[in-house]
């Protein structure tokens, strides 16, 4: 029986998976324990941002065989829908030079020549979702210029947590995966679009997570 930790930033995202099933645990993080498809699941609402995500991954991840993240994201040119996150990077980790911000793989020395900055997810078991690279950082991107800059990193999606979960999983020596669904286009309308589409997109991602767990 596989122990799977499923992280979601918001209650709306966590509640969109395995509707109404499981028992809640009191503590610094809202956690729901359940069994599904022969696996032990813990669904944790970690809160927004990289610190919350990494802390929850550390607290609950030691006993997990797999770290998984679900929820929503912004688009950097990607079409609406759900995506298998094949690669994640932290777009706000690096070194600031005059007129230039040089990005490094999170946790590496931010000096010298920068190599590949991303963390690779576990192999897709055959969900059939489009693959994407996501750029994570501690800011909500609602600016076309900022979105265009992130797109130069090869990212087609943006969020505030997956890159941190990927780094935490690497430190713990655990495989990780993420499924995210688009709420907005990382532009001037993003705040309103995110609120309008949160529940729908969270459920789209949640259904794909349920399908993934059934395949494992």
pLDDT at 114: 81
pLDDT in tens, 47-76: 999 999 999 999 999 999 999 999 999 999
pTM of the model: 0.95
Between the alpha carbon of residue 22 and those of residues 18, 30, 93, 106, 200, the distances in Å are 8, 12, 37, 34, 22
Long-range contacts of 29-33 (CB under 8 A, 24+ apart): 29/56, 29/59, 29/60, 31/60
pLDDT in tens, 169-202: 999 999 999 999 999 999 988 889 999 999 999 9
What is the pairing mode between strands 157-159 and 66-75? Answer: antiparallel
Q: What is the rounded CA–CA span in Å between residue 141 and residue 124?
A: 28
Q: pLDDT band at 26, cuts 50/70/90?
A: confident
Enter the tokens of residue 72. 């929503």
- How many beta carbons lie within 10 A of that of residue 22, not counting itself? 16
8 Å CB contact between 141 and 167: no
Q: What is the rounded CA–CA span in Å between residue 181 and residue 51?
A: 22
pLDDT at 117: 85
Question: In angstroms, how far is CA 142 from the centroid of its own chain?
Answer: 18
Residue carrying the six token digits 């994570």? 136
DSSP-assigned states of every residue in 173-201: T--EEEEEEEEE-SSTTHHHHHHHHHHHH
Enter the tokens of residue 12. 């709306």
């Amino acid at each position: 029986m596989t122990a799977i930790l499923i992280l979601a930033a918001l209650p709306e995202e966590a509640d969109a998976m395995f509707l109404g099933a499981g028992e809640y645990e009191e503590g610094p993080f809202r956690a729901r324990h359940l069994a599904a498809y022969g696996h032990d699941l813990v669904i944790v609402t970690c809160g927004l941002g990289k610190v919350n995500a990494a802390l929850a991954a550390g607290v609950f991840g030691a006993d997990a065989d797999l770290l998984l993240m679900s929820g929503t994201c912004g688009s950097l040119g990607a079409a609406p829908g759900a995506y298998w996150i094949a690669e994640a990077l932290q777009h706000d980790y690096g070194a600031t030079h005059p007129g230039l911000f040089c990005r490094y793989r999170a946790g590496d020395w931010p000096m010298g020549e920068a190599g590949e900055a991303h963390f690779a997810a576990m192999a897709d078991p055959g969900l059939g979702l489009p693959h994407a690279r996501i750029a994570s950082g501690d800011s909500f991107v609602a600016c076309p210029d900022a979105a265009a800059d992130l797109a130069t990193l090869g990212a087609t999606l943006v969020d505030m947590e997956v890159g941190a979960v990927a780094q935490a999983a690497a430190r713990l020596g655990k495989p990780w995966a993420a499924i995210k669904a688009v709420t907005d286009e990382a532009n001037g309308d993003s705040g309103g679009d995110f609120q309008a589409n949160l529940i729908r997109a969270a459920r789209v991602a949640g259904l794909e997570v349920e399908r993934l767990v059934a395949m494992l």
